[in-house]
Structure 1
Amino acid sequence: MSRGIVVALATVLGGCRTAEPPMTTFAPKSDFAEWTYSLYLQVIGWDSFILVLVGLLLVLALFRYSTRALGKGETPPASRERVELEVAWTVGPALVLIAIAIPTIRTTFRAAPAVAPAEALHVDVTAHQWWWEVRYPDLTVVTANEIHLPLGRPVRLELRSADVIHSFWVPQLGGKRDVVPGHPNAITLVPHVVGMYPGQCAEFCGLSHANMRFRVFVESPDDFQAWIAHQVMPVLTPVTSEDLVTAGARLYATSPCVTCHAINGVSSGRLGPNLTHFATRTTFAGGTLANTPENLGAWLRDPESVKPGAQMPRLGLPPAQVSELVAYLGSLR
């Protein structure tokens, strides 16, 4: 009982926060999230009704049918079969379950229609240990760990796994979807509010599961088109006399990096994230590190120390070469 009171108080106090927590499902920012939120409220309503009903019946049983409520010398009435009660506590819960099941099934199918809307933006998301590959097949754009979506346009997210079971979850934009190898899944939604929404793998998938994050950016249609236009352009490496950038480009082209990573016009690796326009991203390493020279340098020196279980091997680069690669990757705009 005391635990229930503590949980209730924590819920009430948590609801008094002025700042909106980023990983909340109670601040819907898409049609799918709004359907889920509405379903939450319906289920909470039924649960509250059942809680009150059971509480009232308990009080009635304690004070109306307790032996202490009887007069001195009285004995409780003999129990007998009550068909109406049997029917009530069988039919009642069944009706409650039906009332919960109908909107649940409706929400499930609304968020994953068999055919996407004709005007939908198609985005292919592939889960890897431990990062997310993002492709826009109709726009020839490939990126990693960051998904850009236009405001007010239907979006069809096609979800796949390249290795083990993962789960795609952006709390403010919609419910979880399991990503199972060999079994593509999908989410269809319409984002309603501009902003950045963090996401997370929600299915334990190995040592660095907690470090498998990503970001979804909902932008105005004009800003989204500008982002796409920039992504399809050749890599804009500044014309510079800096030896670091030139040396870094040469080092990248002759290093093992090219076997895993792709940069349009430079390399075509597929095992790791595509690095084209890497410098325009806000994070890297599965969305766990801010894209700064300091973090990138630490990652290149020893990925495992930054992200346990990282698939990228330690290259054993001397400090000078780390600085060159940091300068080159930082120029990929």
Structure 2
Amino acid sequence: MSARRGAWRVTRGLPRRRARLARLPATAVAMVALPAAARAGTPMYYLKTFGAKGNVSVPLLWGLLGLSVFVILAVSILVVIGIARGRRVRAGPPGMILPVGRSSGAMPWIYGGLVASAVALIGFASWTIAVMATIDQPGRPAAFTIEVTGQQWWWQARYVDPKNPSREFVTANELHIPVGKPVHIKLVSRDVIHSFWVPALSGKTDVIPGQVNETWLEADRKGVYRGQCAEYCGAQHAHMAFRVFADAPDDFAKWWNHELQPAPQPAASAKLVALGEQQFVLRCGACHAVRGTSAGGDRGPDLTHLMDRTSIAAVTLPNTIGHLSGWIADPQQNKPGAKMPNLDISGPELTAIRTYLATLK
């Protein structure tokens, strides 16, 4: 009975699997045919880049890939030719000593291989060094600095205004940068080693406890680019993502000015919102901050403008009222091992807190 049941389960899944497999070629073709602006939104796509830094690195990637394919094909062909043209030596009687000789015409192949390998290695090493020197620093001064702190399992971002410290603010998991301007990124870790990676814009940079590493980002067109921690850092490593929004310069300036504003105060008639603020400060304010209130925690993301973000839990969930409610009520269900504990919030408390958070725009 159990064998038949297991067979039925396998058979039932075959049509779906065949359908998925049948769609694969079409999906791959559609992916190649997508315009550049659409491919920019593809998660972790790195074969097409959208910034000055990536545009220098990708040709090197294709060059190394082409060289690798050429070497594999050349070696395979030479092995097949050698097998086909090789001489067969008959085995002699036991103890017979076979003379050792050098086949005529073999040494030019060896010398030619050594020269070709040396030229290829020197050429690609020089190319790699030139690329590394080019991407080390942007071609012009950075517009500003973002101090990014990696921690299990989310990203804090502090925007630093070099001319006016009063215009600094903190956000989380979603970075905004202006199109066409390089942005300096300072990376630190609060706990273990992480790795900051936005494949469509830049390569990987390790985020190491007790050490400040630096990189920079620049996008040449508007779009949303996914980033990811690229160094295994614990149970929720796969859910430690972030997004980079490349905005038009005017839109970016408006976004920055809006982020500087404190959270809106509840209206006098909005009793449920006011109650939600009180409950939030009491139950959540030790870990989260909301500027303009007495909630000043720094163990979790700053939530001052939470509803302006497109996602929560480090891009694990879309930022909707339903997902937000589920995250508050039981974060361990959505992200096991996350530092946010289950607080056993009652239904009325959840309603009040959720209503208050929905006003944080």
Same fold per TM (> 0.5)?
Answer: yes
Q: Is the 1:112–1:186 contact (alpha carbons within 8 Å) kept by the matching residues of 2?
A: no
- TM-superposition CA deviations, 1:82-123 (whole Å, max 9, x none): 55444333343233222222222332333233x884343211
Please list, as runs of the form range in 1=range in 2, the aligned pairs for 1:37-52 lying within 5 A after superposition: 37-52=58-73
Q: Is the 1:116–1:188 contact (alpha carbons within 8 Å) kept by the matching residues of 2?
A: no
Counterpart secondary structure, 1:28: coil
Alpha-carbon distance between aligned partners in 1 of 2:123 and 2:268, rounded to the nearest angstrom: 66
Alpha-carbon distance between aligned partners in 1 of 2:357 and 2:113, rounded to the nearest angstrom: 66
**Match for residue 151 of structure 1 among 170, 175, 179:** 179
Q: CA deviation at 1:330?
A: 1.1
Q: Is the 2:157–2:171 contact (alpha carbons within 8 Å) kept by the matching residues of 1?
A: yes
Change over 3 Å in CA distance of 1:125–1:11 after alignment to 2: farther
| 1:62 and 2:83 aligned | yes
**Match for residue 79 of structure 1 among 102, 111, 126:** 102
**Match for residue 304 of structure 1 among 309, 332, 337:** 332
Q: Is the 1:116–1:156 contact (alpha carbons within 8 Å) kept by the matching residues of 2?
A: no
Q: CA deviation at 1:64?
A: 3.6
Change over 3 Å in CA distance of 1:133–1:327 after alignment to 2: same
**Match for residue 282 of structure 1 among 306, 310, 318:** 310
**Match for residue 264 of structure 2 among 231, 236, 244:** 236
Q: Give aligned pairs, total.
A: 315
Counterpart secondary structure, 2:204: strand
Alpha-carbon distance between aligned partners in 2 of 1:189 and 1:104, rounded to the nearest angstrom: 20
**Match for residue 28 of structure 1 among 45, 49, 52:** 49
Alpha-carbon distance between aligned partners in 2 of 1:182 and 1:97, rounded to the nearest angstrom: 36
Alpha-carbon distance between aligned partners in 2 of 1:265 and 1:296, rounded to the nearest angstrom: 22
- TM-superposition CA deviations, 1:53-77 (whole Å, max 9, x none): 2233234323444549xxxxxxxx9
Q: CA deviation at 1:214?
A: 0.7
Q: Is the 1:121–1:153 contact (alpha carbons within 8 Å) kept by the matching residues of 2?
A: no
Counterpart secondary structure, 1:160: strand
Question: Any gaps of 5 or more consecutive residues in structure 2?
Answer: 1-23, 90-99, 162-166
Q: CA deviation at 1:273?
A: 0.7
Alpha-carbon distance between aligned partners in 2 of 1:11 and 1:137, rounded to the nearest angstrom: 46
Q: CA deviation at 1:203?
A: 0.9
Aligned to 2:347: 319
| 1:264 and 2:291 aligned | yes
Q: Is the 2:150–2:190 contact (alpha carbons within 8 Å) kept by the matching residues of 1?
A: yes
Q: CA deviation at 1:193?
A: 1.4
Q: Which is further off, 220-229 or 235-244?
A: 235-244
Alpha-carbon distance between aligned partners in 2 of 1:86 and 1:54, rounded to the nearest angstrom: 13
Alpha-carbon distance between aligned partners in 2 of 1:83 and 1:112, rounded to the nearest angstrom: 43
Alpha-carbon distance between aligned partners in 1 of 2:61 and 2:284, rounded to the nearest angstrom: 47
Counterpart secondary structure, 2:285: helix
- Structure 1 residue runs of 4+, over 3 Å off? 10-16, 18-21, 62-68, 80-91
**Match for residue 150 of structure 2 among 108, 124, 127:** 127
Q: Which is further off, 128-137 or 59-68?
A: 59-68
TM-score (norm 1): 0.86
Highest CA radius of gyration, 1 or 2? 2
Change over 3 Å in CA distance of 1:111–1:11 after alignment to 2: farther
Instruction: Name the amino acid aligned to 1:272.
Output: G
Cα RMSD after superposing both structures = 2.6
Q: CA deviation at 1:80?
A: 4.7
Aligned to 1:98: 122
Counterpart secondary structure, 2:136: coil
Alpha-carbon distance between aligned partners in 2 of 1:128 and 1:11, rounded to the nearest angstrom: 39
Question: Any gaps of 5 or more consecutive residues in structure 1?
Answer: 1-9, 69-76
Instruction: Name the amino acid aligned to 1:131.
Output: W
Please list, as runs of the form range in 1=range in 2, the aligned pairs for 1:97-246 lying within 5 A after superposition: 97-113=121-137, 117-138=140-161, 139-237=167-265, 239=267, 241-246=269-274
**Match for residue 278 of structure 2 among 242, 245, 250:** 250
User: Sequence identity, in percent?
Assistant: 37
Counterpart secondary structure, 2:114: helix
Q: CA deviation at 1:240?
A: 6.0
Alpha-carbon distance between aligned partners in 2 of 1:332 and 1:38, rounded to the nearest angstrom: 44
Counterpart secondary structure, 1:262: coil
Counterpart secondary structure, 1:175: coil
